[in-house]
């Protein structure tokens, strides 16, 4: 199970386990052209990472490594190929920035006033400034402008918000971490991976967003003569324009592989996706589905994104143009990921949700911890926090339909924590399917907007929707007849 522990305060979640439960098994290896057969045995090793629920048989580290399209022959029979996500991307054993001993999670939550938080932040700002100035020339130092005020209004708003939620986050996280330590999911000391680490680049450049931009130059498609959905039937599918002009669906019980611009991506069973940017959403509307759950992870504008140029961002007015009412079923549960900027939080609650006729119900937090159960960043850090915010709401409309759909499901709690070891790959959010299960009916239609990965039972859309499905993020775990 991806939910390791469920307490009143929230959930301790195993993100890696969830990915590997998605069923990345290629059922018919014979469908791959150019297969190479190896008569090499597959041996067992010990679990090389405590957070994996799928430690079983691994390929011998001394033997040849198998890539996509390889087939292993066992006792004269063709074998199935099973892939799992690479464990090293979840090997977060130490905090990114170590907290002072008195600020560590296990010490309990100290009572700290807003004034003290400001003072601590002032000291942190001074220390960071001193580090940045080291090695600067005198001329460069003189050119630097001093801030007239220690905190701007946005930072003051963020500090005030943090002072209200820090106790809930600290105490709830502590209780969940204690359960994780008791069960052995978390460990008090960092353990080295016992298996060989693969030299996988942290950023696999796939150019998906650029491809979506290029697709705008393709000849216009006659919608009356064009299929709304492409069903993956072959084990390997390659047609770049088809993937960009309609929803692609894997309705089978096995994973499929798609080839896009020479790159290979795994598509989990019972999943569908549309690869496009926000200007090309029509194929999703043509899919003619109404969704009971919609999760949104917008590319919010912030200074870090502007400096790094890591991905393009959308303005508030562009996000408001998303046709959510046309995609949402009555009483649809809407979940929006928000950065810790109060400007964005206020926008979602006061503008975006009312614009979509969504009533705000709850504010949850995703808390990032290490494998030893510490915050990945000091909780009171000024610049970055070890948590992110989720705003939950429901589409308002037909009262009778809303009552019918709410029968037998629990009401949304006002505050919950989702605690997990984060993926080291940027913006790979934890799964919400398991934690939302108790608040929705089974077998409902689910949609993720601005997705970067796929899930069974979900439709996913975004201009990087296949990003974390790239075959290089996975490894061959075992082969089954």
What's the CATH code of the domain at 313? 3.40.50
103 to each of 57, 99, 230, 419, how far by Cα in Å? 41, 6, 53, 18
**Count of alpha carbons within 13 Å of 465, Cβ hemisphere only?**
30
CA nearest to 68, candidates 29, 39, 42: 29
CA 190 – CA 115 distance, rounded (Å)? 35
pLDDT of residue 68: 32
**At CB < 8 A and 24+ separation, what contacts does 209-214 make?**
209/277, 209/311, 209/312, 209/463, 209/464, 211/240, 211/244, 211/260, 211/261, 211/275, 212/244, 212/275, 212/276, 212/277, 212/280, 212/463, 213/277
**At CB < 8 A and 24+ separation, what contacts does 182-189 make?**
183/4, 183/5, 184/50, 185/4, 185/5, 185/12, 185/14, 185/50, 185/51, 186/50, 186/369, 186/371, 186/372, 186/373, 187/50, 187/371, 187/372, 188/372, 188/373, 189/372
First CA to last CA distance, the chain: 25
Residues spanned by the domain of 414: 172-189+289-476
Q: Is the dihedral of CA 271, 277, 281, 283 positive or negative?
A: negative
pLDDT tens digits for 450-473?
999 999 999 999 999 999 999 999
State the pTM of this model. 0.80
Q: Given strand 474-480, what is the order of strands in its sheet?
A: 25-26, 80-85, 474-480
Bridge partners, residue 479, by sequence: 81
Query: Do 264 and 83 meet the contact criterion of CB atoms below 8 Å apart?
Result: no
pLDDT of residue 295: 98
Query: Do 230 and 247 meet the contact criterion of CB atoms below 8 Å apart?
Result: yes
Q: Is residue 439 part of a domain?
A: yes
pLDDT tens digits for 355-392?
999 999 999 999 999 999 999 999 988 778 999 999 99
Q: What is the DSSP letter of 375?
A: B
Please tell me the total count of domains within the chain: 1
Q: Is residue 454 part of a domain?
A: yes
Angle, nearest 10°, between helix axes 153-183 and 114-133? 100
pLDDT of residue 44: 33
Q: Phi/psi of residue 348, each to 5°?
A: -65, -45
Q: Is residue 113 part of a domain?
A: no
165 to each of 114, 338, 340, 424, how far by Cα in Å? 12, 15, 12, 25
For tokens 């975004």, the residue is: 462
Q: Is residue 235 part of a domain?
A: no
Q: Is residue 218 part of a domain?
A: no
Bridge partners, residue 470, by sequence: 265
pLDDT of residue 31: 39
pLDDT of residue 103: 60
pLDDT of residue 442: 87
Query: Do 300 and 341 meet the contact criterion of CB atoms below 8 Å apart?
Result: yes
Q: Phi/psi of residue 457, each to 5°?
A: 80, 0
Name the percent of the chain lying above pLDDT 70.
Answer: 66
Q: Is residue 151 part of a domain?
A: no
Q: Is residue 405 part of a domain?
A: yes
For the chain, list residues with pLDDT below 70. 1, 28-79, 99-149, 190-206, 209-227, 235-241, 302-311, 402, 478-481
pLDDT of residue 34: 34
Q: Is residue 319 part of a domain?
A: yes
């Amino acid at each position: 199970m991806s939910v390791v522990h469920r307490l009143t305060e929230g959930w301790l979640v195993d993100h890696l386990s969830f990915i590997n439960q998605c069923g990345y098994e290629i059922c018919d290896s014979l469908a791959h052209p150019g297969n190479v057969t190896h008569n090499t045995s597959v041996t067992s090793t010990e679990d090389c990472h405590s957070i994996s629920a799928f430690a079983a048989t691994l390929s011998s580290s001394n033997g040849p490594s198998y890539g996509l399209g390889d087939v292993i022959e066992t006792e004269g029979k063709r074998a199935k190929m099973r892939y799992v996500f690479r464990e090293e991307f979840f090997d977060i054993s130490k905090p990114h920035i170590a907290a002072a001993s008195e600020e560590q999670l296990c010490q309990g939550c100290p009572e700290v006033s807003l004034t003290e938080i400001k003072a601590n932040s002032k000291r942190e700002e001074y220390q960071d400034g001193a580090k940045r100035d080291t090695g600067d020339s005198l001329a460069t130092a003189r050119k630097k402008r001093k801030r007239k005020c220690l905190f701007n209004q946005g930072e003051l708003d963020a500090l005030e918000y943090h002072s209200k939620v820090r106790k809930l986050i600290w105490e709830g996280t502590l209780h969940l971490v204690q359960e994780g330590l008791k069960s052995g999911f978390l460990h008090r000391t960092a353990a080295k991976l016992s298996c060989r680490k693969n030299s996988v680049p942290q950023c696999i450049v796939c150019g998906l967003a650029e491809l979506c931009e290029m697709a705008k130059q393709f000849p216009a498609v006659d919608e009356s003569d064009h299929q709304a959905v492409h069903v993956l039937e072959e084990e390997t599918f390659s047609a770049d324009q088809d993937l960009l002009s309609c929803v692609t669906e894997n309705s089978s019980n096995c994973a499929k592989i798609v080839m896009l611009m020479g790159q290979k991506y795994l598509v989990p069973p019972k999943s569908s996706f549309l690869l496009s940017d926000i200007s090309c959403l029509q194929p999703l509307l043509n899919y003619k589905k109404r969704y009971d759950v919609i999760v949104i992870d917008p590319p919010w504008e912030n200074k870090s994104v502007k400096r790094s140029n890591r991905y393009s961002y959308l303005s508030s007015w562009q996000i408001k143009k998303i046709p959510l009412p046309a995609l949402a079923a009555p009483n649809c549960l809407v979940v929006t990921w928000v950065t810790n900027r109060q400007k964005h939080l206020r926008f979602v609650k006061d503008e975006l949700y009312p614009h979509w006729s969504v009533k705000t119900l709850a504010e949850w937090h995703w808390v990032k911890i290490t494998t030893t159960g510490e915050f990945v960043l000091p909780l009171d850090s000024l610049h970055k926090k070890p948590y992110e915010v989720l705003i939950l709401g429901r589409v308002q409309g037909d009262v009778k339909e809303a009552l019918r759909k709410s029968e037998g499901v629990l009401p949304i709690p006002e505050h919950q924590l989702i605690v997990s070891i984060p993926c080291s790959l940027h913006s790979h959010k934890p799964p919400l399917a398991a934690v939302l299960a108790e608040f929705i009916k089974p077998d409902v239609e689910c949609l993720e907007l601005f997705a970067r990965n796929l899930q069974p039972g979900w439709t996913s859309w975004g201009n990087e929707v296949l990003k974390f499905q790239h075959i290089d993020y996975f490894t061959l775990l075992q082969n089954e007849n």
